[in-house]
Chain A
Amino acid sequence: AQSVTQLGSHVSVSEGALVLLRCNYSSSVPPYLFWYVQYPNQGLQLLLKYTTGATLVKGINGFEAEFKKSETSFHLTKPSAHMSDAAEYFCAVSDRNYGQNFVFGPGTRLSVLP
């Protein structure tokens, strides 16, 4: 069975600082990996996803994530935080063989300080 852990339920960064949100997964088969963002009072939207090919994935709003198989990680980064990045971020893993079995992490709330 798959599982996802996100280190840090709440992360605070200063505006302009590096954003690093951690995600580690476990999966018995090669995974599909996703990052979703939930802005206040809004639904979830996809930031980026890794399926196959290049392990560095670029998403919307300047975010990117790198799939590291040896570390079973898929950390999300952004070089320079903006106030509008304040939101809840969810990492998710899907079993390659059974695509409907999405497992979401508990989420990390990102605060951006002026």
Chain B
Amino acid sequence: GAGVSQSPSNKVTEKGKDVELRCDPISGHTALYWYRQSLGQGLEFLIYFQGNSAPDKSGLPSDRFSAERTGGSVSTLTIQRTQQEDSAVYLCASSRQAQGAVDTQYFGPGTRLTVL
């Protein structure tokens, strides 16, 4: 079946502009994660959605970052008033996440964001 998809694959924007990044998880996966991967860095956890529960926003670096997940499926990560340090690859992952279990995360190809 289809994997996790993300759009756009590349986004170049000017400092101060807002951007929206989209993630389509694997159908039926209840858990959805956003990560940031900066050049030469590991993965930085941003936010986690699980079903209808309140999201875990503990990784969001500032209040310029927000995310929503509509209908328990598609998710949008929004970065307001972008800064050059926001330049990175933003990765989305989903998993079945049965209650009490730890399921494999399946990653999308990422969105490469460049802030000029």
User: CB within 8 Å of B: which residues of A?
Assistant: 32, 34, 36, 42-46, 49, 51, 90, 94, 96, 99-107
Chain B residues with Cβ under 8 A from A99's Cβ? 97, 100-103
Asked if residues A51 and B42 are in contact (CB atoms below 8 Å), the reply is no
Question: Once bound together, how far apart are the Cα atoms of A51 and B101, in whole Å?
Answer: 10
> Which residues on the B side are within 8 Å of A106 (C-beta)?
41-42
Chain B contact residues, CB within 8 Å of chain A: 4, 31, 33, 35, 41-43, 45, 48, 50, 56, 91, 93, 97, 100-110
Inter-chain CB contacts under 8 Å: number: 50
Residues in B with CB closer than 8 Å to A51 are 102
A111 CB, min distance to chain B CBs, angstroms: 15
Q: How far is the CB of A22 from chain B (nearest CB, A)?
A: 15
Which residues of B are found within 8 Å of A44, using beta-carbon distances?
43, 91, 93, 107
Asked whether, in the complex, the Cβ of A43 is within 8 Å of the Cβ of B42, the reply is no
Q: Which residue of B lies closest to A95 (CB)?
A: B102
Are B97's CB and A100's CB within 8 A? yes
With both beta carbons as reference points, the residue of chain A lying nearest to B101 in the complex is identified as: A99
Could you tell me the distance between the alpha carbons of A60 and B58 in the complex, rounded to whole angstroms?
Answer: 33
CA distance A100 to B59 in the complex (A): 12
CA distance A94 to B100 in the complex (A): 12
Q: Are B42 and A107 in contact (CB under 8 A)?
A: yes
A45 and B101: CB pair below 8 A?
A: no
In the bound complex, what is the Cα–Cα distance between A32 and B42 (angstroms)? Answer: 18
CB < 8 Å neighbour of A103 from B45, B93, B110:
B45
24 example contacts (A-B, Cβ-Cβ < 8 A) are as follows A32-B102, A36-B107, A43-B4, A43-B91, A43-B108, A44-B43, A44-B91, A44-B93, A46-B106, A51-B102, A90-B42, A94-B102, A96-B102, A99-B100, A99-B102, A100-B50, A100-B56, A101-B45, A101-B56, A102-B33, A104-B42, A104-B43, A104-B45, A106-B41
